[in-house]
Amino acid sequence: MGAAPSARPRLLVVEHEQDAPPEYVGEWLVAEGVDLDVRRPYDAGALPADLDAHAGLLVLGGEMGAYDDAAYPWLTPTKELIRLAVQQHKPVWGICLGHQLMTVALGGSVQVNPAGRAGGLTPIGWHEASTHDPLCAGVPRDAIAVQWNNDIARDLPDGGVVLATGPDGSAQVVRFADRAWGVQFHPEVGGDVFALWTAAAREREPGDTAVDAALDAIRAHEPQLRETWRPMAKAFAAQLG
């Protein structure tokens, strides 16, 4: 008899709101053999007290801020899970709010972006350290990414390494520990999700064409965005194996 097939790694995914699902990243991770355990604490989905049943942690984005624990009480245990993952050397990946929560949980700070809200497609400027980073090495150097955020990391925790920055100088990819990364942008998002996020802005300012133009650009670049960011998800899946 042959050896029994190895179990698929189980990844804990913290989803902060219905309109911010794992989307493309979830699709890519599943294709790489990862089982997603998506918890929705905004809809009474409880977070585990530890990561004993999980190979790693993925923390998604959301409209709330990294300090809004009083209004969104699950942010506190989410930060605790981030710290636990780092302590246990389990892979952890934070996206947008998840990146900001990692920054705060590990001893850094977050602020409103002095350059204003980032929205639409922006280029990613890679630093030399990214060329040897296991999560980033396979990502094209001419990468563009979807942005929709107000806040950015201000002070990184001790040991944090900036791997990429945006046009405004903000940290866009950070390695917080040997197996812990945060990205300020949204590798998981295409036009459909971006349309949900910007619906209120487009309704509020019907004469402002900037958001419509951003949405059109994202839809036009979706094949490129998928090709660009899938290697990052594949690399993260390899960390879970």
53 occurs within a structural domain: yes
113 occurs within a structural domain: yes
209 occurs within a structural domain: yes
pLDDT at 1: 43
C-alpha 59/C-alpha 70 separation (Å) is 19
Mean pLDDT for 95-104 is: 98
| CA dihedral for 215, 25, 150, 143, sign (positive or negative) | negative
206 occurs within a structural domain: yes
Q: What is the count of structural domains for the chain?
A: 1
- Whether the per-residue pLDDT at 5 is higher than 50: the answer is no
Looking up tokens 């920054």, which residue turns up? 103
Q: Is 239 helix (H, G, I), strand (E, B) or coil?
A: helix
pLDDT at 206: 67
2 occurs within a structural domain: no
- Whether the per-residue pLDDT at 100 is higher than 80: the answer is yes
Residue 82: which domain range? 10-240
1 occurs within a structural domain: no
Express each pLDDT in 122-157 by its tens digit. Answer: 999 999 999 999 999 999 999 999 999 999 999 999
3 occurs within a structural domain: no
15 occurs within a structural domain: yes
Strands 109-112 and 151-155: antiparallel
CATH code where residue 217 lies: 3.40.50.880
Strands 109-112 and 125-126: unpaired
